[in-house]
A and B are shown apart, each in its own frame.
Chain A
Amino acid sequence: MIPVEYFAVVSFALFAIGLAGVAATRHFVLMIFSIEVALVAATLIATVFFYFNTGGNIMLLLFTIWTIAASEAVALVAFYRYISKYETNMDVAKLSKLRDK
């Protein structure tokens, strides 16, 4: 049997990587990936504890989280369109160059 605390530790480790990734990288796509990692950790710990406490499923919360994750893909495609239009790079420090004139 696997204790529930182990799942919590794994989720914390993943969430910490996701959060640290957002702070440590300047690449827009990798920042999105970091948020995805943090969301994966959130879904994992939410599912484990909901199942542990109620024995049921947790579809509503998880679909909310997954909707956020899916909308990130849309935001990324929109951002990529601007990147290719202005011929700049994926460095978030240069985002000010993307303003419309």
Chain B
Amino acid sequence: MIDLIVFAVLTISMLTLSALIFELKDVLHAAVALALLFLFNSLFFLLVNQPLLAVVQLFIMVGGIATFLFVGVGSAAYSKFGHTRKLVLVVLWAALFVVLVSALNGVRFTSELPSATFWSSNIASSLQSSAALFYVMALAMFGVSLGAIILLKKTKKSAKK
């Protein structure tokens, strides 16, 4: 039961964050939502017993998304238009999701490997062994880049005044 709860929390968080990317008006906020999506995806990697991939995903979050943050701040003045048609987004998403999920209809996945099982305890065991330190480092570095962006925004505003 706890496995399904952990899975549901991760799933709902990821889907909400991916929808927020199009809902938020500021590109900077959308980039932060994307970064958090990467963070939850790395937790999914821990769930499937792949701590190395989770750490690499964290490094991408820090490096790649930090670039998006800078572009997000720089392009704020060029982003003042109605950019997303929400109805089209929802309808297209629903249609694509139904088409993709229909491919799973009647399919039963079996594996002969005894290790091919996914438990929520995989997250805790991976974090305890080695990954926790990388998470702390990645979050600290991302926090620093986010702080730098916020300072940059404030400096730009005060320079205009």
* Cα–Cα distance between A92 and B57 once the two chains are bound (Å): 29
Asked whether, in the complex, the Cβ of B100 is within 8 Å of the Cβ of A16, the reply is: yes
Using a Cβ–Cβ cut-off of 8 Å, how many residues does chain B contribute to the interface with A?
A: 64
B91-129 interface code vs A (CB 8 A; 1 in, 0 out): 011001100110010010101010111111000000000
A1-44 interface code vs B (CB 8 A; 1 in, 0 out): 11111111110111111111101111101101110110010011
Asked whether, in the complex, the Cβ of A30 is within 8 Å of the Cβ of B74, the reply is: no
Residues on the A chain within 8 Å of B67, using CB:
73, 76-77
Asked whether, in the complex, the Cβ of A9 is within 8 Å of the Cβ of B118, the reply is: no
Asked whether, in the complex, the Cβ of A1 is within 8 Å of the Cβ of B30, the reply is: no
The listed residue (B44, B79, B84, B107) touching A89 by CB distance below 8 A is: B79
Residues on the A chain within 8 Å of B71, using CB:
29, 76-77, 80
Closest to A57 in B: B50
The listed residue (B53, B80, B81, B96) touching A20 by CB distance below 8 A is: B96
Residues on the B chain within 8 Å of A57, using CB:
50, 52-53
Closest to B72 in A: A29
Asked whether, in the complex, the Cβ of A29 is within 8 Å of the Cβ of B68, the reply is: yes
Min CB distance A36 to B, Å, is 6
* Cα–Cα distance between A20 and B15 once the two chains are bound (Å): 13
The listed residue (A14, A16, A47, A76) touching B14 by CB distance below 8 A is: A14
Q: Does B18 touch A at the CB level, under 8 Å?
A: yes
Asked whether, in the complex, the Cβ of A27 is within 8 Å of the Cβ of B50, the reply is: no
Closest to B15 in A: A13
Residues on the A chain within 8 Å of B22, using CB:
21, 24-25, 30
Asked whether, in the complex, the Cβ of B3 is within 8 Å of the Cβ of A73, the reply is: no
What size tier do the contact residues of chain A reach?
Answer: 35 or more
Asked whether, in the complex, the Cβ of B79 is within 8 Å of the Cβ of A90, the reply is: yes
* Cα–Cα distance between A51 and B53 once the two chains are bound (Å): 12
Residues on the A chain within 8 Å of B86, using CB:
24
Q: Does B138 touch A at the CB level, under 8 Å?
A: no
Closest to B99 in A: A16
Asked whether, in the complex, the Cβ of A43 is within 8 Å of the Cβ of B119, the reply is: no
* Cα–Cα distance between A55 and B118 once the two chains are bound (Å): 12
Residues on the A chain within 8 Å of B37, using CB:
37, 40
Residues on the A chain within 8 Å of B101, using CB:
9, 12
* Cα–Cα distance between A13 and B48 once the two chains are bound (Å): 19
| 10 intermolecular pairs with C-beta atoms under 8 Å apart | A1-B119, A3-B109, A4-B116, A17-B18, A23-B92, A27-B84, A40-B41, A52-B116, A53-B111, A69-B60
